[in-house]
Chain A
């Protein structure tokens, strides 16, 4: 199987869907002539032309709103946010209009729009550019939220997102864009809402998604080699809909849960998960659920310190050891 980057995987998903459906349009700041701020859309303008690949002004509320309006009439816009951090200036369009219009119309309207772009810290760009809003988005019934961790997942999930008839928020990661992974050349789709066990184990379940899956896998390797702890890593892949069954099945096997997420702790995705696990698998738990989150402050700039603010393998290992020790 060929190895391609996470960035290329997304680009291939876009190209395949543009090819398949003439109503798919890619739109955003610098997506066309500039080839994408992160080069995700590189070459698409040359291949598909300016009707399908559309440069917008720096006008998130305007163009995302226009995309939502166009989607109500059957266009399938895939909107790029240069950073998900900029969603705040289009918050009303995304979370009042896209999220609610189906409901408020009594089901007469739907918005098949995808909004995609990177949402991550760890690149020393400071607090304004490091938001991870998957919890905020998932708090709004009506939208779906996807956070892929690998090239394979990114491609299969994005293709499903583009075909989905509901608005899908697709959160990528600038640090993962260059990561390579095996991606088949033949077409495949990954359904939204299906978690993936990225590593099997018996002693501890780590539930994670996005780049934190990569940290968790690195930590699991060390925990296995140096501490003899067998870790299962569950990658949620989609936050809403949520595959809680795969999580619960893993908890029933390991009886210990560590949640690893690039989220501020207050009302994070992990908060919701912890609630659901204790509610639905209380008797399975041998220890309280632990979390590794972003340290609770705006994203710090200072490069070596930002690494410590975010989840990283060392923090995951430390938390896992404490959890296992406490439950023995």
Chain B
């Protein structure tokens, strides 16, 4: 990837821009306006700055539990979620911050959730691994490796049942592919022609175990055993992600067909912040990836080369993302914790809607 070149004049608003570096020249990318290209980049940048800020909050002991950062993988969630129409749905595992921002959740509610505050997206009840936003068709945020994959299949089932032309994207890691529930979901999706794309975000490692040490064969090819289509692409280029996903999403919506795709990516940080990350990979490997394939750098270079963004605009965009994350941390800091009384709310729908309760008897046993 070339170094950022000097700025060219910005292209007039809403002129479709052809990304010259895009190997695919896919229509889904050709039709992007300048604003849309910038927006894709901005979302990636916002994810990165959010993650960096949350890491600092973790180091300052403001955040409990686990924190699985998405740094290095931003193009995957952004590329995929940028294609969502109103009947498309997303579900993922515990490395869920990037998808949350990509579907449009606000940094304030996300940061507050990390802080365990009542203003968090799950009122401080879910934490880092359990972000949800049903109004944005985002169904979590799931802590058990592979456990969300049958749920994603069920989202697709519901779409088909209701006759909606939408698709579900069920994200998982390269380690999750070895869970039985994933294979059960593959089979059901293929058997019933469900509009679900199983997206393997292959960052090379499941915790400290490399792909070679955990999985036999090539991951997306397992789809062939279920007579499902499969695809694979380099995730460092958000346009490449979009080009591939558009194909499979369109097919899912139009023909109600599932697929398995692998998107190759990389995480710069440890598995979680608690992972010292010094036993299973070389620092040089991380550096090499950062130098040649960093998804933000890749897109940034293109935008500058194409004259979509000037370096000054770029700097401004970055500063805005940092400020937004900083403000989110201040918001989280200033927000109240849930109360002890809140512990037993949101357990049963009925208990939360006493006027509509039809059952009798005790629901809680203290």
User: Could you tell me the distance in whole angstroms from the C-beta of B140 to the nearest C-beta in chain A?
Assistant: 7
Q: Which of B134, B140, B188 meets A57, CB within 8 Å?
A: B188
Which residues on the B side are within 8 Å of A240 (C-beta)? 363
If the complex has contacts A59-B188, A144-B359, are A107 and B346 also in contact, measured as CB distance less than 8 A? yes
- Contact string, A135-151, partner B, CB cutoff 8 A, digits 1/0? 00000011010000000
- Contact string, A58-96, partner B, CB cutoff 8 A, digits 1/0? 010111111111111111000000000000000011001
Q: Are A61 and B153 in contact (CB-based, < 8 A)?
A: no
Q: Are B155 and A70 in contact (CB-based, < 8 A)?
A: yes
How far does the alpha carbon of A240 sit from the alpha carbon of B139 in the complex, in Å? 27
Which of B124, B153, B158 is packed against the most chain A CB atoms within 10 Å?
A: B158
User: Could you tell me the distance in whole angstroms from the C-beta of B286 to the nearest C-beta in chain A?
Assistant: 32
How far does the alpha carbon of A65 sit from the alpha carbon of B180 in the complex, in Å? 12
Q: Which of B139, B353, B361, B365 meets A109, CB within 8 Å?
A: B139
Q: Does A25 have its Cβ within 8 Å of any Cβ on chain B?
A: yes
Which residues on the B side are within 8 Å of A272 (C-beta)? 365
Q: How many residues of B contact A (CB 8 A)?
A: 57
Q: Does A232 have its Cβ within 8 Å of any Cβ on chain B?
A: no
How far does the alpha carbon of A75 sit from the alpha carbon of B155 in the complex, in Å? 10
Q: Are B347 and A142 in contact (CB-based, < 8 A)?
A: yes
Q: Which of A65, A109, A191 meets B150, CB within 8 Å?
A: A65
Which residues on the A side are within 8 Å of B150 (C-beta)? 61-66, 68-69, 93
Q: Which of B124, B147, B153 meets A66, CB within 8 Å?
A: B153
Q: Does A108 have its Cβ within 8 Å of any Cβ on chain B?
A: yes
Q: Are A191 and B360 in contact (CB-based, < 8 A)?
A: yes
Q: Does A166 have its Cβ within 8 Å of any Cβ on chain B?
A: yes
User: Could you tell me the distance in whole angstroms from the C-beta of B193 to the nearest C-beta in chain A?
Assistant: 13
User: Could you tell me the distance in whole angstroms from the C-beta of B285 to the nearest C-beta in chain A?
Assistant: 33
Q: Are A96 and B161 in contact (CB-based, < 8 A)?
A: no
- Contact string, B336-366, partner A, CB cutoff 8 A, digits 1/0? 0000000001111110110000111111110
Q: Does B126 have its Cβ within 8 Å of any Cβ on chain A?
A: yes
Q: Are A104 and B140 in contact (CB-based, < 8 A)?
A: yes
Q: Which of A72, A112, A192, A245 meets B359, CB within 8 Å?
A: A192
Q: Does A185 have its Cβ within 8 Å of any Cβ on chain B?
A: no
Which residues on the B side are within 8 Å of A51 (C-beta)? 161
Q: Which of A72, A164, A195 meets B358, CB within 8 Å?
A: A164
Q: Does B185 have its Cβ within 8 Å of any Cβ on chain A?
A: yes
Q: Are B158 and A165 in contact (CB-based, < 8 A)?
A: no
Q: Does B133 have its Cβ within 8 Å of any Cβ on chain A?
A: yes
How far does the alpha carbon of A183 sit from the alpha carbon of B166 in the complex, in Å? 43
Give the contact stretch, choosing among B59-67, B115-123, B199-207, B260-268: B115-123
How far does the alpha carbon of A171 sit from the alpha carbon of B162 in the complex, in Å? 29
Which residues on the A side are within 8 Å of B142 (C-beta)? 97
Q: Does A242 have its Cβ within 8 Å of any Cβ on chain B?
A: yes
User: Could you tell me the distance in whole angstroms from the C-beta of A55 to the nearest C-beta in chain B?
Assistant: 10
Q: Which of B149, B181, B361, B365 meets A243, CB within 8 Å?
A: B361
Q: Does A56 have its Cβ within 8 Å of any Cβ on chain B?
A: yes
How far does the alpha carbon of A247 sit from the alpha carbon of B111 in the complex, in Å? 47
How far does the alpha carbon of A244 sit from the alpha carbon of B360 in the complex, in Å? 10
User: Could you tell me the distance in whole angstroms from the C-beta of B260 to the nearest C-beta in chain A?
Assistant: 15
Q: Are A192 and B361 in contact (CB-based, < 8 A)?
A: yes
Which residues on the A side are within 8 Å of B130 (C-beta)? 104-105
User: Could you tell me the distance in whole angstroms from the C-beta of B91 to the nearest C-beta in chain A?
Assistant: 8
Q: Are B147 and A92 in contact (CB-based, < 8 A)?
A: yes
Q: Which of B122, B123, B144, B155 meets A72, CB within 8 Å?
A: B155
If the complex has contacts A97-B147, A106-B123, A166-B349, are A61 and B181 also in contact, measured as CB distance less than 8 A? yes
Q: Which of A25, A69, A112 meets B153, CB within 8 Å?
A: A69
Q: Does B230 have its Cβ within 8 Å of any Cβ on chain A?
A: no
User: Could you tell me the distance in whole angstroms from the C-beta of A113 to the nearest C-beta in chain B?
Assistant: 10
How far does the alpha carbon of A242 sit from the alpha carbon of B126 in the complex, in Å? 27
Q: Are A92 and B188 in contact (CB-based, < 8 A)?
A: no
Which of B143, B150, B352, B353 is packed against the most chain A CB atoms within 10 Å?
A: B150
User: Could you tell me the distance in whole angstroms from the C-beta of A81 to the nearest C-beta in chain B?
Assistant: 15
Q: Are A62 and B151 in contact (CB-based, < 8 A)?
A: no
Q: Which residue of B lies closest to A101 (CB)?
A: B140
How far does the alpha carbon of A101 sit from the alpha carbon of B154 in the complex, in Å? 14
Q: Are B348 and A92 in contact (CB-based, < 8 A)?
A: no
How far does the alpha carbon of A160 sit from the alpha carbon of B352 in the complex, in Å? 18
Q: Are A65 and B361 in contact (CB-based, < 8 A)?
A: no
Q: Which residue of A lies closest to B148 (CB)?
A: A97
Instruction: Pick 15 A–B contacts, CB within 8 A, sort by A.
Output: A57-B184, A59-B187, A63-B188, A70-B161, A75-B158, A93-B151, A96-B143, A103-B126, A104-B126, A106-B346, A107-B352, A164-B358, A165-B353, A166-B349, A195-B361
Residues of A within 8 A of B (CB): 25, 51, 56-57, 59, 61-75, 92-93, 96-97, 101-110, 112, 141-142, 144, 160, 163-166, 189, 191-195, 238, 240-245, 272, 276
In the A-B complex, list the 7 residue pairs whose CB atoms are closest, starting with the nearest. A69-B154, A65-B150, A62-B184, A193-B361, A106-B123, A69-B151, A107-B346
Extra pairs beyond A65-B147, A69-B158, A108-B122 (17, CB < 8 Å):
A25-B161, A59-B188, A62-B150, A62-B187, A66-B153, A73-B154, A74-B158, A102-B346, A105-B122, A106-B120, A144-B348, A165-B349, A191-B360, A193-B362, A238-B361, A241-B359, A272-B365
